[in-house]
Amino acid sequence: MKLIPWLARAAAFTTLAGAASLSGAQTTAAVASPAKKELAQKVIALQQSGFEGLARTLAQQSVAQIGQQADAFLQTRIAPEQREALVKDVQAEFVKYVDDVGPLLRDRVLKLAPGIVSPVLEEKFSEDELKQVIAALESPGFRKYMQITPELQRAMGQKLVTETQAQVEPKLKALEQAIGKKLNAATAAAPAASASSSQKAAAVPKPAASAAKK
């Protein structure tokens, strides 16, 4: 039982949720009309679940490195008969962290979205196009689909891990071993290079006292 598949579940974001990554983007668009601003804000409101998904994924990704380190420790230092129980305990800590940090990120992304996404919508879309987007987002069928998207992603992720684990894990282990060999070789070479430099420095003849006086 490994930690990494649990941490690596990726959420699929909508195009508008992905636009939240443009936090530093600047727009030169002309000032939008009040009607257009209102339409843009409505699109953002309809995309709230996408922004919340972004926050959840960021919370999970923020502990990915810790998860990888913990996984390596568990696989190499803990006896197999003790491993499963400890994995569950460690996963519980990760869940506790995500449950704690997730709402903080969610609240923040919902506050940031209007200032980040609205200018992009106002620049790239006409009022008629925004109305079309809203009509699509308000479609009962589309809204139902978006509601079950997390469930579909979980099912797909779990199946993907199950189906590819036998092929991927040997490659992952081979990668870890290759990197480990390179790091170990570099670590071993560093002291040798340092010692060689010291020997060369010691071998350089110093000027004789009589020569130094000339």
pLDDT confidence tier of residue 195, bands split at 50, 70 and 90: low
Q: Is residue 98 part of a domain?
A: yes
Q: Is residue 171 part of a domain?
A: no
Sign of the CA dihedral running 8, 105, 103, 130: negative
Task: Tell me what pLDDT residue 177 has.
Answer: 79
- Higher per-residue pLDDT: 140 or 174: 140
Number of domains in the chain: 1
Q: Is residue 23 part of a domain?
A: no
- Give me Rg for the CA atoms of the chain: 28
**Window from 2-6, 11-15, 98-102, 194-198 with minimum mean pLDDT:** 11-15
Cβ within 8 Å of residue 119, ≥6 positions away: 27, 29
Q: Is residue 44 part of a domain?
A: yes
Q: Is residue 85 part of a domain?
A: yes
**Window from 69-73, 77-81, 94-98, 187-191 with minimum mean pLDDT:** 187-191
Q: Is residue 61 part of a domain?
A: yes
pLDDT confidence tier of residue 130, bands split at 50, 70 and 90: very high
Alpha carbons within 13 angstroms on the beta-carbon side of residue 157 total 15
**Window from 98-112, 133-147, 156-170, 185-199 with minimum mean pLDDT:** 185-199
**Residue 102 pLDDT more than 80?**
yes
Cβ within 8 Å of residue 53, ≥6 positions away: 11, 12, 13, 17, 150
Could you tell me which of 134, 125, 126 has the C-alpha nearest to residue 42?
A: 134
Q: What are the tens digits of pLDDT across the range 4-44?
A: 443 443 333 333 344 444 444 444 446 889 999 999 999 99
Which residue range is the domain that position 128 belongs to? 1-7+33-138
SS3 content of the chain, % helix, strand, coil (to 5): 85, 0, 15
**Residue 152 pLDDT more than 90?**
no
Q: Is residue 214 part of a domain?
A: no
Write out 153-203 in H/E/C secondary structure: HHHHHHHHHHHHHHHHHHHHHHHHHHHHHHHHHHHHHHHHHHHHHHHHHHH
**Residue 1 pLDDT more than 80?**
no
pLDDT confidence tier of residue 210, bands split at 50, 70 and 90: very low
